[in-house]
Amino acid sequence: MGEVILTMKDIDKSFPGVHALDHVNFEVKRGEVHALMGENGAGKSTLMKVLTGIYQKDSGSITYKGKETEFHNTREAQDAGVVIVHQELNMVGDLTVAQNIFIGREPKKGFSIDDKKMIEDSKKLFQELNIEINPKEKMNNLTVGKQQMCEIAKAISHKAEVIIFDEPSAALTEKEIADLFEIIRDLRKKGLGIVYISHRMDEIKTITDRVTVMRDGGYVGTLITADSTKEDIINMMVGRVIYEDPKEHSMVAPDAPVVLKVENLNAGKMVQNVSFELRKGEILGFSGLMGAGRTETARALFGADPKQSGKISIRGKDGQLREVTINSPQDAVKYGIGYLSEDRRRYGCVVQKSVTENTTLATMEEFTSGIFINKSKEKEVSEKYVKELATKTPNCEQLVVNLSGGNQQKVVIAKWLTRDSEILIFDEPTRGIDVGAKNEIYKLMNRLAAEGKSIIMISSEMTEVLRMSDRIIVMCEGKITGNIDISEATQEHIMNHATRNIN
Amino acid sequence: MKAKKVIALVMCAAMVAGMSASSVMAADMPEQFKDLKANEAYDFPMMVKSFQSTYWDAAQEGMKKAADELGVTYKAQGPNSESDIADQVNMINTAIAAKPAGLGLAACDTSSVLDALQECADKGIPVVTFDTGIADAPEGSVVCEVCTDNTQAGSVAAENMYNSIKDVIANADGQVIIGEVNQDATGQNIQQRGGGFIDKMIELIQADGKTVAVKGNEFYVNAAKGADAKEADADVVIQVAVPAQTTVELCSTEAQAILSQENCIAIFGSNQTAAEGVLAANANLNVLGSDAGAGDVIGVGFDAGSIIKAAVQDGTFIGAVTQSPLMMGYYAIYALTAAANGQELEDVPTDGYWYDSTNMDSEEIAPNLYD
Amino acid sequence: MTKKKKSILSDQRFIVLLVIIVLFAIFSFKSREFRQYTTILSMLDFSYYDLLMAIGVTFPLITGGVDLSIGTGMVCYALIAGSLVRNNNLPVVLAMLLCIVLGIIVGAANGVLIGIMNLPPFLATLCTCMITRGAGSLCSATPWPGLTQDGGWFHSIFKITVGTGRSASRYPIGFLWMIILVLVMEYVLNHTKFGRYTIAIGSNKEAAALSGINVKFYHVMVYVVCGLFTGLAAIAYAAVTPTVQPGTGAGLEMDAIGGVFVGGVAATGGYGSVIGTLAGIFVIMLLKTGLPYIGLQANWQQIITGAVLIIAVLIDIMKEKKAAAK
């Protein structure tokens, strides 16, 4: 490890309503791979966006190569040698490899672009990196791994001295990861500073020299990787948060029947062999890091996305559990499943329609006779739920777009209650909802469970999971890695499962 | 060289047309309009089909002339193009709502205005249709029709064309083709005009002892009367083409397909668009001319406009038939005034006139030849 | 590793070329009149403005957008310029320049609405389509104007006539200009920043922006270029039609856009070629011209053109699927 090339000191950044970065410190030395870790929303990406000029910091200082610097956009950062390799690949699929590498700074010959030089330079780059890619190939024709290599080559061609890898391994195969590490080691040897953002604990152990942990927008600490254990890191990530009324034990009656049984559900990469059971009156928490496959599991279960295989059984009105076929959301609704999407505005409610219209959206046929809608019945029902759920709206004719996030959520809940759904899937039920409204939603969920509804709750908020769930399923990279009763659940325990590499 | 000459001629024609707009008017005034005076200073909404064609300019000129003579006023209105049927219906409804003393109407689509006409009948607003008649108008709505007799106009074209090709047909060894380009097969005007041409042509050819067949567009083939031979062994085949859209380019392509046949001896374009299409096709083929005996294909146009006028002048077309939009506009105002006065009216048919290089500057013809 | 050389059969341009040859053969075989020089001459005459519009609209289509205002725009510029020639004795050279300037202005307006104000291209250009349609009719006095003036040299831009009357020889010089323009724009598409960023915007706008490209500027430029070619098309249109009819033009853009798709621009944007557009337009032109010669009523032309378009787009989608399956 050489001298410090980049220092970020006391970086502070606020967005309206969120203190995203709270006096964070971070440094990178030449010839080191420095991991940046933290839970979802800990502020890693924000920090890197501040560094590369996508966001401007509110206060603090960035010292790069001994000089205080501030980049105003990615272009400036690139030119100075600070380059980010994004999680989603930023490649133009219809252009060639060489064209992509030099996009935005094409060498020119007169009026036209000097393609020959571009191809030559790309070849040299690949040689340097020991990669075999044809610069004339179209990006679309490459595997994800190769595309990633191109991103790296592009970064290096900027004469990069600091390269930031934002979850680079997420989409790669094992072999490709090995190749990637080879390149990273090579870059380290050449004296570049490397920032490595990942959730995969064993990768951190394999490739990084130091680890900086962030939590809730704050800096927690920096460790030498070789001297610390996995548990040390996890403890730092989780911290000592005092959460409100964590559930001590499951509220589900021991003899409660199973209402939903999922066996070996497979849907793409994000849902692999998922099996679980949901019992009557149970709140089943789904925990995991971003991209663990929780929402995908819910969508596959609900029939919103196609699934490759899997057996779903649902308890009928007669108390018998029997296998059902769910190929579309209509099927799911028919079997009494309601899905409350994480993105309410896109999937959950029709915001330009009234509370009443939204409430009866999934149950239209019950409110129609012939082709006419029974308006008074519709109104009656929606008023009943407004009262019951304490939805704050002046009247039922109010457009949903004018309600607050929490009240929008209640309208969606009312929609599924009208449908008489026995199984409710809440996907991030309190995202974007203020604290007061959160509590109301929690109360409501508890009441629904007490009334015998069964709930699957997907949540990225650890406190929420621990407070609400009777049992917690932890997912990681499309697989279930933990099934924990609430009485045994701790943050550390969950995080351990969530970062477990299954390979 | 040629173009220069054409332009000079066009300019001449335009000047002549501009000078003598009024002199025809006094002649041949129908009995029912003699000594007509307006009882009040009426104001009539006049619905034209569009402002797209200079045709409607000539009509407005006639309206203005009549309005000045009678001391009434009018307001010409119309949609962007003849196919904007709904726009015109809206305008008509707006006009009716103001309860005018009478309504002048050239309907883009005759069936779409029936409701509006019923309302006129109910409210007692007299309607005078001009240019386009409405056969199934509600009882009591249309008090007078001022229209070109399109069947007659088509047959005028046939008669004059036949004079030039009579000998060629008589002496032909083998089949000859006479082409007709119609911009559509849906408008009543064009239907009657195209049909009038075909029927007259059949009659004339058969009178000289030859056999005729009609081929091409189904509508015109079925509507033709008296064709007596199969396409394969007829002496004369009348080939009717209708493009997919009413544009000059597509008319031109159709005309080109007809003209490029070696045994094509004559062609008729039944309105301004179709006639310009024929001329555009000829720009490359260069087969039109006035000497049928020497192998020229005889071209006949319809309506006017600078291009067609120039073609008639230099002999590319041996002539064309013009309607009299001027007279239609003129008589429409007269009919409305008479109707507003409470007079009972008979329909006023206007003729299609043949014009060629010899008479196109004459006093009877020139005012109708808009640019 | 992917294959080094792609099969020539997978190049849509080659398929389209085959289609052209086959169509030409069918029409020539079925109609003696079709295989005449004058037929080809006329076909070329009427192809120029279609092709120019198509070259222009190739760029918005590659970005995944569209420009519906080209048809009415073209007629509008020709009408305005023609009216000024006719009523105010504007020299024809200035009238031509005016067509181009008007095209660029409307193109820039489209570009700003789409690239900067983020209106959907369909909506933005539908509006300018209506505006140009109305404006063209409004600005032209009722006589149908043309763009010809003294000397008649204007028409010689696209067709040189040697001699007069029946013995005259005519040379479709316009075709040469078209080939040159197609090659220039093919080069622009593949070898200049503008072309490359056009593809980048169509393929992955987000990535283009993150690569530091001024996406807004290039997005506007795409429509400006389209407008420029619409202006050129206006000149060609005025040169081949005897007069320009006010109120027309709606629907002409469909021939051009259809031709571009037949020529192999991806229906979703991202790739395409100007040479392909040239070939695509000739498929459309062949159908338009040839079907009347073999005695098919012209309504068939539209049905068959529609069918050809569906097949062309299906080929494209199947290719995409195959590529995705790799």
Q: Do B261 and C298 touch (CB under 8 A)?
A: no
Asked if pLDDT for residue B23 goes beyond 50, the answer is no
Q: How far is A309 from chain C (nearest CA, A)?
A: 20
Token pair 């310029």 is found at: C81
Q: How far is B305 from chain C (nearest CA, A)?
A: 7
Relative orientation angle of helices C193-210 and C173-191, to the nearest 10 degrees: 30
Q: Do B247 and C245 touch (CB under 8 A)?
A: yes
Tell whether the torsion through CA atoms of C177, C179, C184 and C189 is positive or negative: positive
C270 CB neighbours in chain A (<8 A) are 93-94
Asked if pLDDT for residue C322 goes beyond 60, the answer is yes
Rounded to whole angstroms, the Cα distance separating A189 from C250 reads 65
Q: What is the DSSP letter of B153?
A: H
Domain of C56? 38-313
Q: Is the ipTM of this complex over 0.85?
A: no
Confidence band for A210, pLDDT divided at 50, 70 and 90: very high
Rounded to whole angstroms, the Cα distance separating A462 from A288 reads 9
Inter-CA distances, B159 with B153, B166, B301, Å: 10, 10, 13
Asked if pLDDT for residue A250 goes beyond 90, the answer is no
Largest CA distance in chain A: 80
Q: CB distance from B247 to chain C under 8 Å? A: yes
Q: How far is A97 from chain C (nearest CA, A)?
A: 13
**CATH number, domain containing residue C125:** 1.10.3470
Tell me which of 1.20.1630.10, 3.40.50.300, 3.30.70.1140, 3.30.1490.190 is the CATH number of domain A258-497. Answer: 3.40.50.300
pLDDT, chain B, mean: 86
Token pair 């009972």 is found at: B344
Radius of gyration for the alpha carbons in chain A, expressed in angstroms and rounded: 26
Asked if pLDDT for residue B241 goes beyond 90, the answer is yes
Q: Assess whether chains B and A touch, using the rule of 3 or more C-beta pairs within 8 angstroms.
A: no
Q: Of C33, C76, C153, C243, which to mutate for an interface test with B (greatest number of B Cβ within 10 Å)?
A: C243
Q: Do C193 and A93 touch (CB under 8 A)?
A: no
Q: How far is A94 from chain C (nearest CA, A)?
A: 6
Rounded to whole angstroms, the Cα distance separating B196 from B351 reads 13
Q: CB distance from B371 to chain C under 8 Å? A: yes
- pLDDT reported for residue B111: 80
How many beta-carbon contacts under 8 Å exist across A and C? 64
Q: Do A91 and C191 touch (CB under 8 A)?
A: no
Rounded to whole angstroms, the Cα distance separating A83 from A160 reads 6
Per-residue pLDDT tens digits for C121-130: 999 999 999 9
Extract the tokens encoding A24.
């964070």
List chains touching A (3+ CB pairs under 8 A).
Answer: C
Q: What is the DSSP letter of A218?
A: E
- pLDDT reported for residue A217: 86
Asked if pLDDT for residue C207 goes beyond 80, the answer is no
Note whether B180 and B237 are within 8 A (CB).
no
pLDDT, chain A, mean: 86
Identify whether C163 is part of a domain.
yes
Mean pLDDT to the nearest integer, A313-320: 88
Q: Which of C119, C128, C106, C65 is nearest to C272 (CA)?
A: C65
Per-residue pLDDT tens digits for A34-82: 999 887 668 888 899 999 988 899 999 999 999 999 999 888 898 899 9
CATH class of B149-320: alpha beta
Does the domain spanning B41-147+322-350 belong to CATH 3.40.1410.10?
no
B1 CB neighbours in chain C (<8 A) are 164
Per-residue pLDDT tens digits for B282-335: 988 889 999 888 889 999 999 888 889 999 999 999 999 998 888 899 999 999
- pLDDT reported for residue A142: 85
Confidence band for C151, pLDDT divided at 50, 70 and 90: low
Q: Of C62, C186, C210, which to mutate for an interface test with A (greatest number of A Cβ within 10 Å)?
A: C210
Asked if pLDDT for residue A454 goes beyond 90, the answer is yes
B54 CB neighbours in chain C (<8 A) are 142-144
Considering chain A, tell me which residue range(s) the CATH 3.40.50.300 domain(s) occupy: 1-236, 258-497
Identify whether C139 is part of a domain.
yes
Least CB–CB distance from B253: residue in C144, C152, C289 = C289
Extract the tokens encoding B114.
């029936």
Identify whether C88 is part of a domain.
yes
SS3 category, C47: helix
Q: Do B80 and C137 touch (CB under 8 A)?
A: yes
Which residues are CB-neighbours of C287 under 8 A, at least 6 positions away? C23, C301, C304, C305, C308
Rounded to whole angstroms, the Cα distance separating B369 from B106 reads 20
Asked if pLDDT for residue B16 goes beyond 70, the answer is no
Q: Do C212 and A137 touch (CB under 8 A)?
A: no
- pLDDT reported for residue A348: 67
Token pair 């790296």 is found at: A152
Percent of chain B's residues with pLDDT above 90: 53
Rounded to whole angstroms, the Cα distance separating B192 from B223 reads 10
Extract the tokens encoding B178.
């006479």
CATH for A1-236? Answer: 3.40.50.300
Instruction: Tell me the β-bridge partners of A276.
Output: A262
Mean pLDDT to the nearest integer, C270-280: 90
Per-residue pLDDT tens digits for A372-423: 777 888 888 888 888 888 888 888 888 887 777 778 888 888 888 887 789 9
Question: How many structural domains is chain C composed of?
Answer: 1
Identify whether C322 is part of a domain.
no
- pLDDT reported for residue B12: 44
Per-residue pLDDT tens digits for B27-63: 567 888 888 888 889 999 999 988 767 778 888 989 9
Extract the tokens encoding B46.
């006049």
Asked if pLDDT for residue C142 goes beyond 70, the answer is no
Percent of chain B's residues with pLDDT above 70: 92
- pLDDT reported for residue B155: 95
